[in-house]
């Protein structure tokens, strides 16, 4: 609920919109139930009451929420661009290894380094079982599946440290399957790429 990047902010907004829509449906249907209980006996307008109000309103709201969710989902897809940084994330029980396209041969364990203010495509895979890559303040969650590479776009709005975790149960070491994302300012990112101690 404290986004630190554009993808996380978009997801937080989507969450609030879905909550508002669900609340509207709940309150409207609850109001209809109260009206039904208070209605005078002998009135026969159930068809209009149930179909017109009890079904039509929720279906319209749910259709609008679905359309909004699909629109937001499309906006979250990774797209090519000149400023995009690519990193590789490989999960295993119970650690993360990260490689950097801009620094061939550079590998870090348990710490992902990214530039702040630039989109980063994380190519996620696994060496063993299914894991999940999630940095809640930067983006949504994406699974690491054996034999596949899934790409997640993350971006940190400002330099800092962000906690990430493997959010898929994968055995007894699952609770400690965590990592840290370090977002560097431009000078810090250049130092990292030149293999200087971050």
Q: What is the pLDDT of residue 40?
A: 67
Distant-in-sequence contacts of 13-16, Cβ < 8 A, 24+ apart: 13/72, 14/68, 14/69, 14/72
Compute CA distances 87 → 102, 145, 167, 170, 188, whole Å.
8, 17, 20, 23, 17
- The string of pLDDT tens digits covering residues 17-73 is 889 988 988 888 788 778 777 776 666 566 666 666 767 878 888 899 899 889 888
Query: Structure pTM?
Result: 0.77
What proportion of the chain, given as a percentage, has pLDDT over 70?
A: 90
Distance of CA 123 to the CA centre of its chain: 15
Kindly report the CA angle at 166 between 162 and 170, in degrees rounded to 5? 165
Query: What band does 117 get if pLDDT is binned at 50, 70 and 90?
Result: very high
Q: Pick one of 2.60.40.420, 1.10.10.350, 3.30.450.20, 3.90.180.10 as the CATH number of 85-193.
A: 2.60.40.420
Are the CB atoms for 33 and 50 separated by under 8 Å? no
What is the domain partition of the chain in residue ranges?
A: 6-75, 85-193
Q: State the chain's mean pLDDT as an integer.
A: 86
* Cα-Cα-Cα-Cα dihedral sign, residues 86, 92, 95, 97: negative
Token code pair at residue 181: 């994302």
- The string of pLDDT tens digits covering residues 70-105 is 988 887 777 777 889 999 999 998 889 999 998 888
């Amino acid at each position: 609920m404290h986004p630190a990047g554009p993808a996380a902010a978009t997801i937080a907004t989507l969450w609030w919109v879905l909550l508002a829509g669900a609340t509207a449906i709940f309150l409207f249907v609850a109001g209809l139930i109260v009206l039904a209980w208070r209605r005078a006996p002998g009135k026969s307008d159930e068809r209009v009451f149930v179909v017109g109000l009890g079904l039509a309103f929720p279906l319209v709201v749910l259709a609008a929420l679905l359309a909004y969710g699909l629109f937001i989902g499309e906006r979250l897809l990774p797209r090519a661009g000149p400023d995009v940084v690519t990193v590789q994330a490989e999960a295993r029980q119970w650690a993360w290894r990260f490689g950097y396209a801009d620094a061939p041969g550079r590998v870090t364990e348990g710490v992902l380094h990214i530039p702040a203010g630039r989109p980063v495509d994380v190519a996620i895979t696994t060496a063993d079982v299914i894991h999940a890559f999630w940095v809640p303040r930067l983006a949504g969650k994406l699974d690491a599946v054996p034999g596949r590479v899934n790409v997640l776009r993350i971006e940190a709005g400002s330099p800092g440290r962000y906690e990430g975790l493997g959010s898929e149960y994968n055995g007894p070491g699952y609770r400690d399957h965590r990592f840290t994302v370090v977002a560097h300012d431009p000078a810090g990112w250049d130092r990292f790429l030149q293999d200087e101690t971050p």
